[in-house]
């Protein structure tokens, strides 16, 4: 039997809502270890996986590659397939492009590329996605560097969205590739979909235009539920009423409401998600922080055992990951201007700032040669004392993932979807 498309999954989920409510989880693939942890948990608990890669994380080499394992789309797709085989996972997993489109690489935005050029690069990236088995493309043309601090005209967002879907569909059909699913809209306030009225207007106008051109409808439309991730907390103000209304609007058009920026929310809010009708939610930075903290905890254990003479040598992981995190400057978009204006040398003298920066951007460094070497050294040193360090990191990541699996009623969801006709 061929794999259910995500469009089919969403439609079945909406049909089942009266007697069986669940919210799906989009997982930002921050590292290979996170992907492995997700697949192990999905095998244990039978739920569908959505790996949501941004263009900064995974992209073709000619466009700059990705910071996660330096993967392009093929490397990403091959790695997930091989981990699934290694774990013996035969369930559902989906490769998803998160925030695809023009200006979605930090460099394209910083360079203020003109629209035509940015659209061309966004299209190139999408073609590499579909040629390498991506199941879902998020079409998000709202990261416009020429419209900063104000809302982009909804007609511009609609025009670009339709142009990108039309282009991808034409190229997909020409290549004889299987059907894919689409996600549209954005949680960013400049995208303009901040009220229930503007959300419905966007859906109506988009579907009208897609129907006119005989193009497929999206399966997810992103809505602003009030969430906002900053540093290591959700500083937004989750709005249950707005979420419920957005979900009802989306369902009216047989589309699922997708929430972004879902990290670090209170478990009570998470438990309410299926009842409110939120079809899916994305989480990403949280997993990067959980993995970074796990490595630092292991480095503490190593230090203790070294002092007790139970391991013969000590890695330099703690110093290395802290130095590389600060030097990466990847944290700039989350920090205040007075921190951003300081040099790396100045920052390395400020213990408090180093701790915060490492917490939020340690994951950007996992693939740096120096950090990778120190992680290997840490693991090998701890093995001397009978500690399986990788198992501990996987345990911490599974713990973080499982919070969502349990609160979203995802246990056994794949089986339930397959039984729905």
DSSP per-residue letters across 318-359: HHHHHHHHHHH-GGGGGS-HHHHTS-HHHHTT-HHHHHHHHH
pLDDT score at 188: 66
**Structural contact between residues 262 and 282, judged by C-beta atoms closer than 8 angstroms:** yes
Rounded to an integer, the average pLDDT of 115-130 is: 97
pTM of the model: 0.94
- pLDDT tens-place string over residues 25-60: 999 999 999 999 999 999 999 999 999 999 999 999
Mean pLDDT of all residues in the chain?
Answer: 93
If one counts every other C-beta atom within 10 angstroms of the C-beta of residue 1, the result is 4
Instruction: Provide mean pLDDT across the span 370-390.
Output: 97
Task: Please check whether residue 248 is in contact with residue 277, taking contact to mean a CB–CB distance below 8 angstroms.
Answer: yes
With H, G, I as helix, E, B as strand and everything else as coil, classify residue 213: coil
Q: Which sequence spans correspond to the domains of the chain? A: 6-285+400-418, 288-396
DSSP 8-state secondary structure symbol assigned to residue 368: S
The one-character DSSP state at 2 is P
For residue 152, pLDDT beyond 80: yes
What fold, for 6-285+400-418?
Answer: TIM Barrel (3.20.20)
pLDDT of residue 189: 55
Radius of gyration of the chain (CA): 22
| pLDDT score, position 321 | 97
**Residue 403, pLDDT score:** 97
Query: 218: which DSSP letter?
Result: P
Over residues 195-250, the pLDDT tens digits come to: 888 899 999 999 999 999 999 999 999 998 887 776 677 767 888 999 999 999 99
């Amino acid at each position: 039997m061929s794999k259910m498309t995500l469009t089919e999954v969403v439609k079945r989920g909406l049909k089942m809502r009266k007697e069986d409510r669940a919210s799906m989880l989009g997982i930002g693939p921050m590292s290979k270890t996170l992907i492995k942890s997700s697949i192990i948990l999905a095998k244990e608990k039978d739920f569908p996986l959505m790996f949501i890669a941004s263009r900064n994380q995974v992209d073709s080499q000619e466009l700059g590659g990705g910071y996660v394992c330096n993967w392009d789309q093929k490397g990403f797709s091959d790695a997930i397939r091989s981990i699934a085989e290694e774990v013996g996972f035969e369930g559902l997993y989906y490769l998803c492009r998160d925030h695809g489109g023009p200006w979605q690489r930090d460099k394209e935005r910083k360079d203020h590329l003109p629209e035509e050029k940015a659209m061309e690069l966004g299209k190139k990236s999408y073609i590499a996605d579909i040629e390498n088995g991506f199941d879902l493309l998020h079409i998000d043309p709202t990261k416009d560097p020429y419209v900063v601090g104000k809302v982009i005209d909804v007609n511009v967002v609609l025009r670009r969205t339709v142009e990108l879907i039309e282009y991808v569909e034409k190229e997909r059909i020409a290549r004889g590739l299987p059907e894919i699913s689409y996600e549209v809209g954005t949680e960013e306030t400049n995208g303009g979909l901040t009220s229930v009225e503007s959300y419905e207007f966007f859906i109506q106008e988009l579907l009208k235009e897609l129907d006119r051109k005989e193009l497929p409808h999206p399966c997810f439309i992103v809505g602003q539920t009030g969430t906002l991730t900053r540093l290591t907390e959700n500083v937004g103000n989750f709005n249950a009423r707005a979420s419920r209304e957005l979900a009802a609007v989306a369902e009216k058009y047989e589309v699922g409401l997708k929430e972004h920026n879902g990290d670090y929310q209170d478990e009570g809010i998470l438990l309410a998600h299926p009842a409110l009708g939120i079809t899916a939610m994305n989480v990403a930075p949280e997993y990067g922080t959980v993995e970074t903290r796990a490595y630092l905890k292991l480095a503490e254990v190593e230090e203790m055992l070294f002092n007790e003479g139970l391991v013969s040598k000590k890695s330099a992981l703690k110093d290395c990951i802290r130095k590389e995190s600060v030097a990466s400057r990847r944290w700039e978009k989350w920090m205040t201007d007075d921190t951003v204006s300081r040099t790396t040398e100045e920052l390395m003298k400020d213990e408090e700032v180093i701790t915060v920066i490492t917490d939020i951007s340690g994951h950007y460094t996992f693939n740096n040669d120096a950090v990778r070497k120190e992680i290997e050294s840490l693991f090998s040193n701890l093995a001397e004392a009978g500690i399986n360090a990788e198992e501990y990191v996987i345990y911490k990541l599974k713990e973080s993932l499982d919070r969502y699996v349990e609160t979203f009623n995802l246990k056994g969801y794949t089986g339930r979807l397959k039984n729905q006709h």
